[in-house]
């Protein structure tokens, strides 16, 4: 995550003295609520795979989710790049390319796949 972007989000918070309200529980709730708003963009849509006409709303709600993620990481003293890299490593172990390539199965259901 770009440090300048993180600093901008934290500066926005600090200018308003909102850090006092940003405990991990309420930030986790906020992430979930904003993720639900992102999902709402697709509610009752018959064309879920097409989103060209929804991009403005998607940009806004995705940014809300990411802003709260930055605030949550800060509140918990976590480095976003570090935790993302750790998770990618764990996922790579759960989903080895030779088994997961082209498969949408959960890691517990993966067979011994073969890459063509
Ligand atoms: Mg929102």
CA-closest candidate to residue 111, choices 101, 92, 91, 90: 101
Centroid of ligand 1 to alpha carbon of 61 (angstroms): 5
pLDDT band at 87 (very low <50, low <70, confident <90, very high): very high
pLDDT band at 45 (very low <50, low <70, confident <90, very high): confident
Centroid of ligand 1 to alpha carbon of 3 (angstroms): 23
pLDDT surpassing 50 at residue 116: no
Q: Where in the chain are all domains bearing CATH 1.10.287.1080?
A: 1-78
What is the pTM for the complete model shown? 0.88
DSSP letters for 41-98: TTTT-S-TT--GGGHHHHHHHHHHHHHHHHHHHHHHT--HHHHHHHHHHHHHHHS-HH
Centroid of ligand 1 to alpha carbon of 102 (angstroms): 33
CATH architecture type of domain 1-78: Orthogonal Bundle (1.10)
């Amino acid at each position: 995550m770009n440090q300048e972007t993180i600093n901008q989000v934290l500066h926005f918070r600090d200018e308003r003295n909102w850090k006092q309200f940003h405990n991990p529980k309420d930030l986790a709730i906020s992430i979930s609520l904003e993720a639900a708003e992102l999902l709402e963009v697709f509610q009752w849509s018959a064309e879920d795979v097409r989103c060209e006409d929804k991009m403005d709303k998607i940009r806004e709600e995705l940014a809300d989710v990411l802003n709260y993620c930055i605030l949550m990481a800060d509140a918990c003293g976590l480095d976003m790049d570090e935790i993302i890299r750790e998770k990618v490593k764990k996922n790579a172990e759960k989903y080895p390319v030779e088994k997961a390539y082209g498969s949408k199965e959960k890691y517990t259901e993966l067979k011994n796949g073969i890459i063509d």
